[in-house]
Structures are given as structure tokens and as C-alpha cells.
């Protein structure tokens, strides 16, 4: 358990059913680092958070059921109203409060509903209620996503991460909220270096449907501000990386309607940017994803998507393998057993390797299959 932080969650009525309002309260105001969506359309909570003058954070309020995106200045003003009410109840400054929202785009937060839920939310704060907080920010998620680890060493420090996300998942962030808490001593400069570096290797390497949300948010908090001991920073970085990767995999495994997770590796490229572009194009291809859903070893869809990535590619060097079985070599089909491949592709986790035989750079990421249930879930999302 991370020391110096408490959690809570309630059903306020933003959603028709279930918990929809979560609160994090810190014993003392703490430093943080944040990353937000690269979508040019940004939710009100991002615009509000970026306008804050305070350097430290005393509370984080998260809601589900309403994205509070595309709501103009009214959406930002609504958060200011809520901040004033919450600050009074927590005896903190309004500027020390951060927000995060997830849900349907285009609707303003019901301010009176949120404010009415604050007394119970504050009263329920406890160090042991991380799961309640995690459930309060779920939308189409089927389970709460929580990862906890101890940092190796004598300090007895911990890291706890919580995330939500299942659809509108794209590697340049997703309909994803992720919050990571640690009582390991960290100064703001170190935090702001660590978070983007580790996010590029974790949260930015998952994809469900290739759509980037207006609300994507990742935050890192340290409840013990200060410069880390140099001897322990390696252990911290490794543990933090494991927590973030585990959270990212929980998101992709819970992809809307998904039945399979595909680990895609593009290797032997001339440059990393080429490998990344190819990986992202293949991972986002509906035809590739539906082939995996149908256990169809249709490698032609993979090479066709690769050829459309707008980066240099020599198809006569490309080798494609699924679950270790080579389907294509030097850009043409290699002998393989279709029956065997269909069986291998029925597994819940599948390895897809695209070898360019053109260099030493590589890039890997995780994606899902595309199913009938994905369409059903998103065809009725507003209702």
C-alpha cells in the first residue's frame, strides 16, 4: 500500500447505474507529472488542468459516464465550480485539484449531481479503497485494472497503478485514464523525465481500434517529494516500467469484444521509425484484425497493410510468421499447414512477426482481434 494517499468512489448519478465518481486525496500536496492526448480536440479536464497555477496536487477527482469534451468554456467553468466545493470539504486550495473524465463526448458534466455526491465521496476516503476508485472510472471495461508492486531495496517503498480503458484505444494514447502512485522519493524534474520515456514503451504500444480519444490522461504522483537516492533509481525505473506495462496489457486484454491479444513485432528494419510505422499500420488494419478473429492465416492482409504504411519497404525481403510458423518468405508464400495454423491462431495470445531482413531496428506492440461484439458495444454506446 502506498503511504500518504487515500481513495474513494461513489455512485452519484452521472451514469444510470454503477459507481461513477472517484476521488484521490493526498495527506500533503504532492508533485506530479502528466501526459495528455495528442488529439487536437481535448476534453475540458485537460484544458482546466493545464491552466492551473499550483505546482502541487492535493486531490484528483475522476468521473465516468461523461467525457466533458467539446463543451467549450462552460465545461471548464463547471470544473471550477466543482473545485470550489471540493476544496472547501477537503480544506485545500482550489488550484491543488486535478480532474479527469471519461464517457460520452459532447455532454456537460451535471454539476449539481457531482456536488451532491461529494460529501459521501469525502467521507469514504481510505487508504484501502483503491479498487473502489478503479471501479468508479470504468465505462465499457469488464474489470478494474490495478497493479501493485514493491520497489526492491530497504526503503519499503511501493507503487500502485490503476487504469481504465477498453475501446477507442490507439497507441498514441487511448480512451485511457491511468494514474500511478508511489511513496518512493521523487522530484518533479525526475518524474517529468520518467513518465514520457516509460509511456512510449508501454501505453503507447497498445491498440484496440486505432482511434485516439479526446480524454487520454496518464499521471504519476509521488507522496514523498525529494531527490531519489542515485543507487535506487534503477530499481524504481524497472518497477515503474513493469507496473505501466502490466496496466497497458490489462487494457488491451479487455479490448471491447476482443477474444485475442496479438503481440506484433516488426524486426530487421533500417530505422526504428520505419518499424514503428509498419507496426502501427498492421496493428490498426481491420482486415488483419478480423483475420485473427476468424483464425484465418491470411498473411496477404499483413503484407498489404505493411505496403500501405508510407515508409520504405522491399516486399521481396519480407518474411511473415505466426506462432513461430513461417507463412511467407521473400515476399511470397511459404509452404504451411492451414489446418495447423488455424489451430494455433485459436489461442488467446498470438505472436505475429514481420521480418524485413533490411536492417537492425525493431518495434513491437500489442493489438486485438476485431469481433462482432465490438460493433454491438459501440453501435449502442450512447444508449
- For 272, the enclosing helix (H) or strand (E) is helix 272-283
Provide the β-strand partners of residue 180. Answer: 161, 220
CA distances for 203 relative to 36, 131, 196, 214, 315, angstroms: 12, 21, 10, 16, 30
Q: Give CA–CA dist 264/274, Å, rounded.
A: 14
End-to-end CA distance of the chain: 38
Sheet of 32-36, strands arranged across: 32-36, 217-222, 177-182, 158-164, 145-150
- For 9, the enclosing helix (H) or strand (E) is strand 5-10
Q: Give CA–CA dist 169/301, Å, rounded.
A: 21
For residue 189, give every residue at least 6 positions away whose Cβ sits within 8 Å of its Cβ, in sequence order, or none.
none
Residues annotated as part of the active site: 175
Alpha helices (H) along 41-187: 44-51, 72-90, 111-123, 130-136
Amino acid at each position: 500500500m502506498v503511504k500518504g494517499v487515500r481513495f474513494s468512489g461513489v455512485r452519484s448519478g452521472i451514469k444510470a447505474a454503477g459507481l461513477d465518481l472517484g476521488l484521490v486525496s493526498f495527506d500533503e500536496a504532492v508533485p506530479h507529472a502528466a501526459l495528455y492526448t495528442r488529439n487536437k480536440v481535448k476534453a475540458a479536464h485537460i484544458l482546466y488542468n493545464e491552466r492551473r497555477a499550483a505546482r502541487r496536487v492535493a486531490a484528483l477527482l475522476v468521473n465516468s459516464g461523461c467525457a466533458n469534451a467539446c463543451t467549450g468554456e462552460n465545461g471548464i467553468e463547471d470544473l471550477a465550480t466543482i473545485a470550489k466545493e471540493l476544496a472547501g470539504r477537503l480544506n485545500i486550495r482550489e488550484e491543488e485539484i486535478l480532474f479527469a473524465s471519461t464517457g460520452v463526448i459532447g455532454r456537460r458534466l451535471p454539476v449539481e449531481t457531482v456536488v451532491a455526491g461529494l460529501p459521501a465521496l469525502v467521507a469514504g476516503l481510505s487508504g484501502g479503497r483503491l479498487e473502489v476508485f478503479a471501479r468508479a472510472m470504468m465505462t465499457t471495461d469488464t474489470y478494474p485494472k490495478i497493479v501493485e508492486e514493491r520497489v526492491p531495496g530497504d526503503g519499503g517503498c511501493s507503487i500502485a497503478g490503476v487504469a481504465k480503458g477498453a475501446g477507442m484505444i490507439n497507441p498514441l494514447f487511448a480512451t485511457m485514464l491511468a494514474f500511478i502512485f508511489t511513496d518512493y522519493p521523487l522530484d518533479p524534474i525526475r518524474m517529468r523525465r520518467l513518465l514520457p520515456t516509460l509511456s512510449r514503451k508501454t501505453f503507447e504500444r497498445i491498440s484496440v481500434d486505432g482511434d485516439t480519444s479526446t480524454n487520454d490522461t496518464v499521471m504519476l504522483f509521488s507522496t514523498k517529494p525529494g531527490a531519489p537516492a542515485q543507487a535506487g533509481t534503477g530499481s524504481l525505473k524497472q518497477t515503474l516500467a513493469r507496473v505501466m506495462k502490466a496496466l497497458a496489457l490489462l487494457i488491451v486484454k479487455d479490448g471491447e469484444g476482443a477474444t485475442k491479444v496479438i503481440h506484433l513485432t516488426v524486426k530487421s528494419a533500417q530505422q526504428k521509425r520505419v518499424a514503428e510505422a509498419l507496426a502501427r499500420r498492421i496493428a490498426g488494419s481491420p482486415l488483419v484484425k478480423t483475420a485473427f478473429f476468424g483464425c484465418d492465416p491470411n498473411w496477404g492482409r499483413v503484407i498489404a497493410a505493411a505496403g500501405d504504411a508510407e515508409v520504405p519497404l522491399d516486399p521481396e525481403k519480407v518474411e511473415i510468421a505466426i506462432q513461430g510458423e513461417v507463412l511467407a518468405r521473400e515476399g511470397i508464400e511459404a509452404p504451411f499447414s492451414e489446418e495447423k495454423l488455424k489451430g494455433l491462431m485459436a489461442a488467446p495470445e498470438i505472436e505475429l512477426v514481420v521480418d524485413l531482413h533490411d536492417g537492425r531496428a525493431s518495434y513491437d506492440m500489442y493489438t486485438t482481434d476485431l469481433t462482432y461484439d465490438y460493433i454491438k458495444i459501440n453501435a449502442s454506446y450512447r444508449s
